[in-house]
Amino acid sequence: AGVVPFRGERQAGIITAAQDRLHFASFDVITDSKADLVDMLQRWTAAAERMTRGEETVAGGAVDHGEYMPPADTGEALGLDASSLTLTIGFGPGLFGPSASDPNRTDRFGLGDHRPAALVDLPTFAKDAIEPTRSFGDICVQACANDPQVAVHAIRNLARMGFGVVSVRWSQLGFGRTSSTTSSQQTPRNMFGFKDGTANIRADQTDVLNRWVWVDPSDVPGKAAWMAGGSYLVARRIRMDIEPWDRANLAEQEAIVGRTKGVGAPLGMTNENDTPDFSVATGDGPVIARNAHVRLAHPDNLGGIQILRRGYNFTDGSDGFGHLDAGLFFIAYCRDPGKQFVPMQRALASKDAMMEYLTHNGSALFACPPGLGSGEWWGQRLF
């Protein structure tokens, strides 16, 4: 049950109906051998395709390969079904030469001229508190599934298979999607208790996706053409100051977001899907405040810009001071991060009232190529 096709025009896991669980991993490539990297990507592809069908990384890998061999599959997904597992791969700026991952790196794989113009490290934003051990990376794999054990098993086995070629730089677990990516999904809630994903791009909005999510062939001329039909993934680990938020009164919480907490309606409206009207004002000023999150993030405020949000809630226990280490692992897909995510986050970082309760402490950018044709392996068009 719950098998999402691994191959197709687009990679699964972008406009696929958002699953409930996430394990996101970012890897550093630790070899200088292109042959070893290509070999690993080929082995990863075969294993990933099997795992998305609910199978072991290799047939009989968990227990049938003999007593005197470490099992070729770690086994914890035996008996579990595919759980809508999707595995989405992306390549970071560090694969192409010096980057925030490692400023001293050379262009080890001779890929410098394959780097798409849009794949450059994100700038530093106001109030950023980026921790390098939670940020950057050469390759990412986003594993989403409806069973956390299935998502963790997938990342664990890819990491194990990559021994000597890649090492995990950081990884993040997420629970509770914070986005709807299809019209049939109910809008979930984030850790502030608000519906999140109401005004998101939907999988059936083909024109909007072509405009704002999928890389057009004209964006990636020459040797960057491997990215045509792909999308850029922006990841931000956003810590939310839960305890101070929980002491803010309801009116203040709603003013910060710009929507009601119960129904999720834009302030001044009745229903969740009503269109916000930013011009409505009372004697005290606009009903949706000038520094409300949804006003600042809305296309009207940003020259029409949109992004596809596909983030997850996280709670990594508590922080040693009695506060929940909780927040939103923000994932966005866009056609050009520099023209979409960057101006949007600039507007939010400096003006959004919500920033008082947020700390961005992880950041990464990856180029996710288009989907795989029959027999194709991850990264084939790049290498």
Residues that bind ligand HEM (CB under 6 A): 190, 192, 194-200, 236, 238, 240, 257, 259, 293-294, 297-299, 307, 327-328, 330, 341, 344-345, 348, 358
**Closer CB to ligand HEM, 197 or 371, in the complex:** 197
For the residues of 18-46, what is the DSSP string, one character each? P-SEEEEEEEEE----HHHHHHHHHHHHH
| Min dist. Cβ of residue 247 to ligand HEM (A) | 17
Q: What are phi and psi of 146, to 5 degrees?
A: -90, 0
| Min dist. Cβ of residue 265 to ligand HEM (A) | 10
Tokens of 168: 């995990």
**Closer CB to ligand HEM, 177 or 293, in the complex:** 293
| Min dist. Cβ of residue 323 to ligand HEM (A) | 15
| Min dist. Cβ of residue 136 to ligand HEM (A) | 18
**Closer CB to ligand HEM, 61 or 362, in the complex:** 362
**Closer CB to ligand HEM, 34 or 351, in the complex:** 351
Among candidates 299, 106, 117, 110, which has minimal Cα distance to 199? 299
How long, in residues, is the chain?
383
| Min dist. Cβ of residue 341 to ligand HEM (A) | 6
**Closer CB to ligand HEM, 177 or 236, in the complex:** 236
**Closer CB to ligand HEM, 125 or 383, in the complex:** 125
Q: What whole-number distance in Å separates Cα of residue 257 and Cα of residue 266?
A: 9
**Closer CB to ligand HEM, 107 or 241, in the complex:** 241
| Min dist. Cβ of residue 239 to ligand HEM (A) | 8
Q: Beta-carbon neighbour count of residue 283 at 10 Å? A: 4
**Closer CB to ligand HEM, 225 or 263, in the complex:** 263
Long-range CB contact pairs, 286-290, < 8 A, 24+: 288/258, 289/255, 289/258, 289/353, 290/351
Cβ contact 301:347 at 8 Å: yes
| Min dist. Cβ of residue 334 to ligand HEM (A) | 10
Q: What whole-number distance in Å separates Cα of residue 313 and Cα of residue 204?
A: 25
Q: What are phi and psi of 194, to 5 degrees?
A: -100, 150
| Min dist. Cβ of residue 322 to ligand HEM (A) | 21
For the residues of 340-371, what is the DSSP string, one character each? THHHHHHHHHHH-GGGGGEEEEEEEEEEE---
Detail the DSSP E strand segments found in 44-164: 86-91, 139-145
**To which H or E segment does residue 250 belong?**
helix 250-257
| Min dist. Cβ of residue 356 to ligand HEM (A) | 12
- Give the CA angle between residues 160, 165, 169 to the nearest 5°: 70
**Closer CB to ligand HEM, 169 or 236, in the complex:** 236
- Beta partners for residue 88, in sequence order: 142
**Closer CB to ligand HEM, 97 or 193, in the complex:** 193
Q: Going by C-beta distance under 8 Å and a sequence separation of 6 or more, which residues neighbour residue 182?
A: 17, 202, 203, 204
Q: What whole-number distance in Å separates Cα of residue 26 and Cα of residue 168?
A: 6
- Beta partners for residue 282, in sequence order: 285
| Min dist. Cβ of residue 195 to ligand HEM (A) | 6
